[in-house]
Amino acid sequence: MQLCARKLPDDLIWVCAGKKGWNLRVSHELQSGAARSHALGNVAVLALTLISAISGENDPPPAQNVAWSSYNFKTILTWSPKPTNYSYSVQYSRLSEDKTMHCIRTRETECDLTDKLENLRSTYTADVISEPLPSAKTDFVELPYASAPHFCPYKETKIGSPKFKVIQNEDTTKMEVHVQDPLTAIKRNGRPVNIREIFTSDLMYKVQYSKAGSTGKSKTQNHSNVVKIKKLERGVSYCFTVAAYIKSRKPQHQMGAWSIPVCWPPKTASFFEEISWYVLAGGATILLFILILLIIMIVLCCKRARLSKQVKIEAASGTTTTTV
């Protein structure tokens, strides 16, 4: 690529710039020294104009949409776009500390920092740096970069839905919900740590329950993994769903994901509730088809019997006439 600009009328002076350098063209019409001096005085202005025009030709763009994605303390930094003739590197740190490089010269648009954010209660910052390929010629003073918002794993990671089971007491008006703490991506001594070990007394479980088939819901919560539900109606099936609740967090980050509902005791469905309408419709169609076949067979049998009887009558009539 080469860019050129002219100065003075009638193309008296041209200045061109490209990857191979600068080229100054002066018209032969510039005979007098004064005119030449006046023209060359404008070269600096033209040069600055061309520098601004050609600079950035091979410069990689800064990353966009830099964000944290964290689920059960599995923390990944994401961004866009997918690089073409450049790569990315990530630098991260706790606030007010020196930054460390990671995912150096990656062509991906994500970087797993789970094992790097060791202090879960600390607040971290991260930058995604756009870097030209080693073969590219650039004169960067500072590489383009984009920063992620501040992030604290303890306060912001999303908590997944827990598993649980429902146990009914001998007194059928009481049930117990036994919750299993979800495991995290954090490992200690070679084993995954659950959320109870991280949040300790900050962790509670909220339970929503309602009569099977009802839209009205009741709620309760407990610090323990066993949540007791009382004053239930005898002989009625109830559906339960559970979510973790971190009381020390900001409201938008307090609730974990709700679990899939579990109903207990299991509702005994009628025959027609267990079989879908498509199955019933198919069965009805088959029965109708069989009934039509039976009717057709009966009609054919009746016609055949009638025809056979008529043949016998005609045969007997013919025999009588011959005898006479």
- β-bridge mates for residue 86, sequence order: 132
The answer on pLDDT for 137 being more than 70 is no
pLDDT of res. 4: 43
The answer on pLDDT for 8 being more than 60 is no
Q: Compare 276 and 159 and report the one with higher pLDDT.
A: 159
Q: Which residue has the tokens 């600096």?
A: 44
The answer on pLDDT for 264 being more than 90 is no
Average pLDDT value for residue range 115-119? 95
pLDDT of res. 102: 97
Q: Which of 53-62, 108-117, 122-131 has the lowest mean pLDDT?
A: 53-62
What percent of the chain clears pLDDT 70, i.e. is strictly above it? 75
pLDDT of res. 172: 80
pLDDT, tens digit (0-9, with 9 covering 90-100), for 61-111: 999 999 999 999 999 999 999 999 999 999 999 998 999 999 999 999 999
H or E segment to which residue 159 belongs: none
pLDDT-based confidence at residue 50 (cuts at 50, 70, 90): very low
pLDDT, tens digit (0-9, with 9 covering 90-100), for 207-263: 999 998 888 889 999 999 999 999 899 889 999 999 999 999 999 999 999 999 999
User: Phi and psi dihedrals of 62, rounded to 5?
Assistant: -70, 155
pLDDT of res. 275: 59
Pairing mode of beta strands 145-147, 100-106: unpaired
What are the helix and strand counts (H, E) for the chain? Answer: 7, 19
Q: Compare 229 and 37 and report the one with higher pLDDT.
A: 229
pLDDT of res. 284: 84
The answer on pLDDT for 318 being more than 90 is no
* Residues in CB range of 153: below 8 A, 6 or more apart: 70, 73, 75, 117, 120, 121, 124
The single-letter DSSP state of residue 260 is P
H or E segment to which residue 93 belongs: strand 86-94
Q: Compare 120 and 6 and report the one with higher pLDDT.
A: 120
**pLDDT, mean over the chain:** 81
Q: Which amino acid is at 114?
A: T
Q: Compare 299 and 199 and report the one with higher pLDDT.
A: 199
pLDDT of res. 28: 46
Q: Under DSSP, is residue 63 helix (H, G, I), strand (E, B) or coil?
A: coil
pLDDT of res. 309: 77
